[in-house]
Structures are given as C-alpha cells and as structure tokens.
C-alpha cells in the first residue's frame, strides 16, 4: 500500500479559515506531506483546527511579524512544491512571503492563493463570505423557494468553487511545474469557482430550458418529481424521478394511476405535487424507504448528520469512519492503486518538523 497518488509532494499551508483547510485536507488525504504554519497568538478554529478538517498534516507555530520566523517560513517554502494561503490580496506581500519572494527562493513552486473575490477586480480587497460570493454569480438567486433565496450551507462558494478548484488548480500547476521546471501562481476565487459550477444552468438558460426564477424548473424544486416531501413522522424523503421509467416506478410505489398523469405538463405540476405530498404524508419516512427499496423510483430517505454514517450503503463503502475520535467523511474519490490516507493530524513538535524539512533538497 502506497501513501496516496500525491505521495512525496510537499505542501506548506499558511493557516486560514474557509476553503484552504478543506483543500489541504484533500491534498493530505491524497498523500501530500503538509506542514501547516500557524500564526502565533491566533485563536484556534473549532472546525479548521479540529481532527476532521485538520487531519493529515503537521503544524508549526511561527510569529510572521518576526523577521527571524519569516525567514524560517521562507526556508520551509524553499523546500516545498506547493504553498496554500487564504489571506486578502496584499497580506502575504506585506509579510515578505508573497509570490515574488517565494518564487525567487523556489522557482518551481506552485503558489495557490484562495480568496473570495480574486486577486484583482473592484471587490478584491473587500470583506465577504460564501453567501456574498455566490450572490454575484447567479447561484444564490437560483436556490430556495419562490419567496426568497436560501444559502446552500457554504458548499458552493467556499467548498465547491473554492476548495475543490484550489486543489485541482494547484495539482494541475504542479504537473506543469514538473514538466517545465517553472512554478506559477494559482489565483482561485470563490466567485469564479461558483460561476463555473453554474455552467450547466447558464447553458440551459441560454437554450431556453431554464426560467430565471426559483422553484420553477426541473432541478430547483419546481418539478413535483424532483423535490423533497415530508412524511407522517415529519421526516423527509428525496424524490428524483426525472426519467419516464423512474417516474413510472415512483407512481407505482405511490399507487397512483399513471394513465391519468402527464409528467411534463407544467400546468399539472401543482396538482401532482399536492397528490404526491398527500400520499407521502400517510406513512413514515422509513416506511417509504422500505416501499421503494430495490426499485428505480429514485426515492431515498433524507438522513441527518447523525444518521448518514450508519446507512447500509455508506457503511458498506466505509464512506464515514472515526479514525481520530469524531465520525467524519473518508477520502474521496477512490484510487485503485494509491488509496488516500485519511490519517489523523500528527502532533510533531516544531524542531522535528524543521529538522526533517531542512534535510530535504530544495524543490527546483
């Protein structure tokens, strides 16, 4: 068993909140050797510094306002393949640890920068959070009920458009650096990323297949066969019976007459949604899960965070585990020859980390 598909890749993570910890966790899961530089006096984050998002890397604490500690950070960077940072534009430059300084010390370095608005543009130096970034890309407008948009946790801006594309971007730049010997800066912005995630919906809108309003379309809860329904126990089921064959299986499970229903007659959707809601309200969530088990009706129980790890499918695939105490998602995707690690964070002391990295050659 190897250490993962990115074993041997060295990453320096300057501590941050939001997307950077998840991106670093994913890279650690894939086998990267990550040293996280934590700032002296920084208040710990219960999520970013915990055993889940903080897994798989070692941590050293430095005072980046100190010239000596900044020099130490630069020594570590000179022996790294990738840097991850999530500060506002200009912060790392003022510390003497911006891309110019780091690439001068390590020309093959991939310098990954994660911000909400990007390194350039009128809002680049403005504050914001996930809800603000996705608000400007059309994503937030498209999600929620007809009366108002609803923030989809911080999955679209922070994690989908941020962490995932940061991890992909630095990995792509790393391939380039190993081919050409030249590093580069990766400017990952949550606005750019969340806009990219909306590509299909922009395509459907351009083709006339998506109405620019909430709860009025195929995938936004407008269709009665693609939404959630409350059950008798106030728990919910998720219905995703888009294709006609799946829709027919849904009607069969609900004991509704398929001969009287035109699935794609939008004028009939309100009445059909009412019929579905009435039927689902007659039984509990788990009763309905049993009814639809083994069918292609695309009906599943909506599980809570406490329930999800114990579902038979998730247990069979070991989607969740508790390697460091709390239950947590395991590495994804799966690799046949170089599986990810999902290892707990290592509490190695600063002197040991510095010694280990000092003994390695600079990445050139």
Domain ranges of the chain: 10-197+331-358, 226-313
* pLDDT for position 45: 75
Please, what is the angle between helix 244-254 and helix 285-292, to 10°? 120
Cα 38 from Cα 113, distance rounded (Å): 17
Is the preceding peptide bond at 24 cis, omega within 30 degrees of 0?
no
Among the listed residues 156, 153, 125, 126, the one whose alpha carbon sits nearest the alpha carbon of residue 138: 156
Cα 345 from Cα 57, distance rounded (Å): 5
pTM over 0.85: yes
Residue 2 has pLDDT above 70, yes or no: no
Percent over 90 (pLDDT), the chain: 85
Domains 10-197+331-358 and 226-313 share a fold: no
Cα 133 from Cα 139, distance rounded (Å): 9
Residue 192 has pLDDT above 90, yes or no: yes
Structure tokens at 323: 């390697």
Residue 1 has pLDDT above 50, yes or no: no
- 267, 204, 214, 266: CA torsion to nearest 10: 10
With beta carbons less than 8 A apart as the criterion, state whether 57 and 345 touch. Answer: yes
Residues 6+ apart with CB under 8 A from 233: 284, 285, 286
* pLDDT for position 356: 77
Cα 181 from Cα 312, distance rounded (Å): 47
Q: pLDDT for 234-271, tens place per residue?
A: 999 999 999 999 999 999 999 999 888 999 999 999 99
Q: pLDDT for 103-142, tens place per residue?
A: 999 999 999 999 999 999 999 999 999 999 999 999 999 9
The CATH architecture assigned to 10-197+331-358 reads: 3-Layer(aba) Sandwich (3.40)
Tell the burial category of 306 from Cβ atoms under 10 Å away from its Cβ (0-12, 13-18, 19+): exposed
Residue 190's φ and ψ, nearest 5 degrees, are -65, -30
Q: With helix as H, strand as E and coil as C, how does 195-224 read?
A: HHHCHHHHHHHHCCCCCCCCCCCCCCCCCC
Residue 48 has pLDDT above 80, yes or no: no
Just list the catalytic residues.
Answer: 129, 158
pLDDT band at 353 (very low <50, low <70, confident <90, very high): confident
CATH number of 226-313: 3.30.1540.10
Determine the average pLDDT of the residues in 281-294.
Answer: 98
What average pLDDT does the structure give for the chain?
93
3-class DSSP assignment, residue 71: helix
Cα 76 from Cα 35, distance rounded (Å): 9
Determine the average pLDDT of the residues in 77-86.
Answer: 97
Residues 6+ apart with CB under 8 A from 57: 11, 13, 24, 28, 34, 35, 36, 345, 346
For residue 186, list its beta bridge partners.
112
């Amino acid at each position: 068993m190897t250490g993962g598909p990115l074993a041997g890749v060295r990453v320096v993570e300057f501590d941050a909140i939001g997307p950077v910890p998840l991106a670093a966790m994913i890279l650690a899961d894939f086998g990267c050797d990550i040293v996280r530089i934590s700032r002296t006096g920084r208040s710990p984050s219960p999520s970013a510094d915990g055993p889940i998002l903080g897994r798989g890397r070692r941590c050293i604490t430095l005072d980046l306002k100190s010239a000596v500690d900044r020099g130490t950070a630069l020594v570590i960077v000179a022996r790294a393949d990738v840097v991850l940072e999530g500060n506002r534009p200009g912060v790392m430059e003022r510390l003497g640890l911006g891309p110019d300084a780091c690439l001068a010390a390590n020309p093959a370095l991939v310098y990954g920068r994660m911000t909400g608005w990007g390194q350039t543009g009128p809002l680049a130096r403005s504050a914001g959070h996930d809800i603000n970034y996705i608000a400007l890309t059309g994503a937030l407008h498209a999600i929620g009920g007809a009366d108002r948009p609803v923030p989809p946790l911080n999955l679209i801006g922070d994690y989908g458009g941020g962490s995932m594309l940061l991890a992909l971007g630095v990995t792509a730049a790393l391939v380039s650096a190993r081919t050409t010997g030249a590093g580069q800066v990766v400017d990952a912005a949550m606005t750019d990323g969340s806009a990219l995630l909306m590509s299909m919906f922009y395509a459907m809108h351009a083709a006339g297949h998506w109405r620019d309003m909430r709860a009025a379309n195929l995938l936004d809860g407008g269709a009665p066969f693609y939404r959630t329904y409350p059950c008798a126990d106030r728990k919910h089921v998720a219905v995703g019976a888009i294709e006609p064959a799946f829709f027919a299986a849904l009607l069969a499970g609900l004991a509704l007459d398929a001969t009287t229903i035109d699935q794609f007659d939008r004028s009939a959707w309100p009445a059909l949604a009412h019929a579905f809601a009435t039927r689902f309200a007659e039984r509990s969530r788990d009763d309905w899960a049993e009814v639809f088990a083994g069918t292609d009706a695309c009906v599943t129980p909506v599980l809570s965070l406490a329930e999800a790890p114990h579902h038979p499918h998730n247990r069979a695939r070991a989607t969740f585990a508790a390697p460091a105490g709390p239950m947590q998602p395991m590495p994804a995707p799966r690799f046949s020859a170089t599986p990810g690690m999902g290892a707990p964070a290592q509490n190695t002391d600063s002197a040991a980390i510095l010694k280990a990295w000092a003994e390695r050659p600079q990445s050139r």
